[in-house]
Structure 1
């Protein structure tokens, strides 16, 4: 059941929906922490990660939202990778954020915006 909800939420994210955008300084600290926690399972050195939150799609309670930005973290050799595009999908239920997707696909934020598929 939980996977069905996540799949439906991800479909809504990619299809786009009526929502407001926020700036990075308006992001809820609890959501930022939830993204950092999810990123820890993907990044080699999550404690070194420096995030920018460039596009924040704010959704109401019990709805899915998305965030696009950049992350610069250390790789397996201990060197910073440079800013890499990421996107995250989340659910906001009862005041709690659950980040169900965090991806660093390997291309730039500008390319993602130009393609208009993830961060529109």
Structure 2
């Protein structure tokens, strides 16, 4: 990320390191998992990128901005989860991407 989001992430990481000390969570970039891990042949990467761009173009107007998040903490995890109504939109987006990827690249993506 760039701009304000990058700055907020940087501030969060610095504060978190000061309060909690460095830990394994600092090694993982913040993300939202939309699908299971999948393999893609090098020759199909460009087409897979096109499939993603096509899907994003269809769906970008359907996402809330900013995406509503909820804080979740437990004894061994702290994170932000997408609120349920937005999560449903993301699930449909992931399914659409999986279908687009299959049709353009024959790559199986499990949403």
Shorter-chain TM-score range: under 0.3
Greater share of helix: 2
TM-score, structure 1 as length reference: 0.24
Greater relative contact order: 1 or 2 (C-alpha under 8 angstroms, separation 6 or more)?
A: 2
Greater share of strand: 1
Larger of the two Rg values belongs to structure: 2
TM-score, structure 2 as length reference: 0.25
